[in-house]
Structure formats: structure tokens, C-alpha cells
Amino acid sequence: MKASIKIIVLCTELSLGLASLSNGQVIGLDTMLHIIDSRNPMLQEYDNKVKALNAYTEGAKSWMAPMVGAGTFMTPYPNQSLMEERDKGSVMFSVEQSIPNPARLNANRKYLASKASVEEQGRSFQFNQLRSDAKTFYYGWLVAEEKMKVLHENERIIELMLKLAKLRYPYNQGSLGNVYMVEGRLGEVQNMILMTQGDIDEKSYSLKTLMNLPPEAEIMIDTTTRVRYETSQLGYDTTALSSRRSDVKQIDRTIEVMRLNQQLQRYQAKPDFRIRFDHMQPLGNMPTQFTAMAMISIPIAPWSSKMYRSEVKGMQYDIEAMKKGREALLIETRGMLTGMAAKLGRMQQQLMNYNTKIIPALRKNYQTTMLAYEENREQLPMVIDGWEALNMAQMEYLNKLEEYYTMIVSYEKQLEK
């Protein structure tokens, strides 16, 4: 009952999300990830692979089809002299059925069933990659929106400078060169606005591709989204990591598949059976006859057992190799997470310095020079220098903020959060 309720809620969320997209309304990150999970063709490919393997499993315990035949038995060639009535031969009808070993059938069913779990973990691994890509595009869009705010404010400031410069020039309170300098800065800001808008459009198309939406669909992100970073202790525990990471789980499932395949190969040593019944209907005045046979294979014969024994031995070496690969992956991931956590801490401090020290100080410097310029106590180039220093600091802060968000996404990707 609870599972049904969850499914209904999820479907409702997706429907609302898609309806919002058609209207160009705001879409949150969680809703976007739900849409990717349900609509992305790369994930649907894995879903169909799992269904295919489950379908193969249903027929794993099937027997071979029976064989039915009809023909003649001990029938003489035409124009032959017959000594007795029985020399006429018989018409024979045959039925034959192979009976596979039940233990081998069960082992084959378990082996095929286990292969679906590998594809399921492969899907989880692929979704983790798509989720990380979506977060990167989403957070990059957030930063681009902040850049647009800064650039539009800069455009307003430069237009004010240009207006003041043009007003002062006729009264010999400014040079014509100052007017051209401000016009050049205004063009640079407008170019940056165009470049940033292009970046937003690129991220929009990338997100629509992940959600399998048409290019003409209108989407907007929730600009009030707050990105939070929380240090996880899982990064220091390989056992906890192995329980979260789908690639490690995929290795575990692959090892289990190979073990079941080993067991299947061992069951090749068990015999198979076959029964056959022949009925002879005589052509002459003879009694009807039959033949009934039961046969059993001897797979332990030296010339046939070498094949499955070598298969079992080779698979064991493959299993040991995958175990070492799993161990190396966990050690590498632990090292990466430790380094990322340290780097994120330093990046947080850098961003705090920009917010509390660098940008406020440069803003006060610009405001002071601008006030002096308005009071005719300072030259326009000094105002432009102060504005450029503030603008560069603001843009550098936003670039570092985007790097910080990207690092958070990489950190969460390793943890599959």
C-alpha cells in the first residue's frame, strides 16, 4: 500500500513538472532529476535490458522439445525375393525426449536471474552520472543569473558615467577621450551580457537534452535555490562507501554472477538423461514390436570433463582480479573524497574573504571616488579604475563560486548523493 502511494505521488510530481515546463514556469532541481530518471533514453535502455534478462530467466528451466519420427524398419529393397513373411519388415514410429539434469536447470535459472541485478546497478551508475551533469548545468545557470545581475548593474553605472561625462565635456570639465573611454567600457559590458546569456542558453539546452524535451520547450530554474555542502564521514570508511556506490555494487553483482556461473559449470559434471520409445508395425503376418531405451550421459569422462573444469578455474582467477579492482576503486575514492573535502574547506574560506573583505572594500573605494567625481574633486579615469577593480572582484568571486559548486557536485557524485 505504501509503495503504491509513493508511485502515485511520484507520477503526480512528474505530471506537474512537465506541465510547468510546457508553460515555461520555474522548475526545481528535484523535479528535474525525477524527470531525467523517468524520461532519459539512456536510463530507459537499462530498464529494457533488465526486462529482457528477466524474460530470459522465465525460460531457463525449459526442456528440449520432444522428437517424433516415422519410417521403415528392416524393409527389403524392391524386387527382392522374400524367404518368410517376416522379411517384409515394419513401419516404425519413434518418440524421443531429452531430460536435462534438474540441478543444472536450477543453477542456470539462478545464473540468468543474477545478471539482471548487474544491469540494475549499471542503471544506478548511469543515473548518478546524469544527475551530476544536471546539477553542474543547474548550478552553472544559477551563477550565470548572478552574473547577469552584476552586469546589468554595471551597465547602469557605466551609462551614468557616460551621461556625466557628456554633460561635463561642453564646460571643459572633462575630455572627449573620457567620453570615448566610457563608451568602450559600455560596449565591453554589453558584450559580456551577450556572452553570459549565451552561456545560459547553452545550459538550458543541455538540461532539456537530459530531460528528453524538445529544444523549443521553455524552462526556467529556481533562482532561490541554495547549494549546501556538508562534510560526510562516509569518505573515510570504505565499508560505508561500498554500500553506497553503484559501481562497487555492480562489481559485487558481477562477482556473484561469476560464482553462479562457476556453480553452473560444476553441474556440467552431473549426467543428463534421455528416453526413447520405438513402435514397429509389421507389414506381414508378424506380431507388433517395440523398443524402449533409457540413456544417461557420462560427463566425468576425461575427454569431456577438461572443458568445464578449466572454465571453473579460469572464472576463479577473474573473480580474484575483480576483488582487487574493487579494493583499488574504494581506496582511490577515499583518497579523492579526502582531498575534495580539504579543497572545499579552503574554497569556502576564499569565498568568505571575497564577501566580507575584498568586495566591500573595493565597493567603498568605488563609491568614494564616484562621490568625489560628482563633486568635481576627482577625474573620471580614477572612477573607472575603481569600478573596474570592483567589477573584476565581483566576476572573480562568481567564477570561484561556480568552481565551488562544481567541486560540490563532484564530491556528491563520489558519494552518490
Q: Alpha helices of 169-234 — where are they, by DSSP H?
A: 176-210
Contact 322, 251 (CB under 8 A): yes
Q: Alpha helices of 40-69 — where are they, by DSSP H?
A: 41-58
- C-alpha–C-alpha distance, residues 80 and 167, integer Å: 131
Among 44, 49, 46, 17, smallest CA distance to 30 is for 17
pLDDT score for 256: 94
- 3-state class (DSSP) for residue 279: strand
What rounded mean pLDDT belongs to the chain?
87
pLDDT score for 178: 78
**Tens-digit pLDDT profile for residues 14-68:** 444 444 444 567 899 999 999 999 999 999 999 999 999 999 888 888 888 899 9
Q: Alpha helices of 61-175 — where are they, by DSSP H?
A: 102-168
Among 28, 27, 30, 40, smallest CA distance to 10 is for 30
Per-residue pLDDT, averaged over 126-152, amounts to: 95
Q: Which residues of 111-140 are buried (b: 16+ CB within 10 A; e: fewer)?
A: bbbbbbbbbbbbbbbbbbebbbbbbbbbbb
**Tens-digit pLDDT profile for residues 193-252:** 999 999 999 999 999 999 999 988 899 999 999 998 888 776 677 888 888 899 999 999
pLDDT at 166 over 70: yes
State which H helix or E strand residue 91 sits in.
strand 90-99
The domains located in the chain, with CATH, are 40-76+85-415 (1.20.1600.10)
Instruction: Lay out the sheet containing 67-73: strands in order across.
Output: 67-73, 90-99, 273-282, 289-296
